[in-house]
Amino acid sequence: MREILQRRIERPDSEYIFYNHEGERLTHLSRGFKSARKKAGLIRWEVKDGETVEVRFRFHDLRHTFGSRLGMNGTDLKSIMEIMGHKTAKVAMRYQHPSPSHKLEAVSKLDEIRGTSSQKVVELNKISDRPR
């Protein structure tokens, strides 16, 4: 995909990134996306009822990935809003999903502030039978 986009930028045959042989905008990308998704091995996982299951990876998920990566790379919220065409910060925040490793790195920075470093990560389990 990166190669295709790079060719489109270097040699623009149309004002659109996705266009047909006449340079007109493509409006239905489902079949092409499904084929590309399978070739690239794009899979989306969710936890449902305590079990990790594969779910359909939609074209729209690419917008969430884009917004998330912008945020995790330190792009300011106003720029993300303008790049993605969002009018409010609330909508822009819906498209940002920091990865578990990104969140762990953020918390690990607290150790750097204190001058300590702990490589041990302990997973905590919820206790639902806790007396109140």
The residue range of the domain holding 13 is 1-55
For residue 27, what are its two tokens? 């409006």
Rounded Cα distance between 120 and 39, Å, is 37
Q: Is the domain of 65 the same as that of 115?
A: yes
Evaluate whether residue 76 is within a structural domain.
yes
Query: Averaged over 70-84, what is the pLDDT?
Result: 95
| Confidence class for position 128, pLDDT limits 50, 70, 90 | low
At residue 129 the predicted structure's pLDDT band, cuts being 50, 70 and 90, is low
Does residue 83 form part of some domain? yes
Does residue 114 share a domain with residue 66?
yes
Do 113 and 64 share a structural domain? Answer: yes
Residues 51, 64, single domain; the answer is no
Reply yes or no on whether the pLDDT at 75 is more than 90: yes
- Report the distance separating Cα 30 and Cα 118, nearest Å: 46
Query: What is the torsional sign of CA 11, 73, 79, 63?
Result: positive
In a domain, 124, yes or no: no
The better pLDDT of the pair 124, 72 is held by 72
Do residues 2 and 28 share a domain? Answer: yes
Task: Give pTM, 2 decimals.
Answer: 0.58
Please state, in angstroms and rounded to a whole number, the distance separating the CA atoms of residues 95 and 66.
Answer: 8
Q: Is the pLDDT of residue 117 over 70?
A: no
As given in the structure block, the two tokens for residue 3 are 């190669």
Residues 47 and 70 in one domain: no
Contact between 18 and 25 under an 8 Å Cβ cutoff? The reply is yes
> At residue 120, does pLDDT exceed 80?
no
pLDDT, tens digit, for every residue of 5-36? 787 777 777 787 777 778 788 777 777 888 88
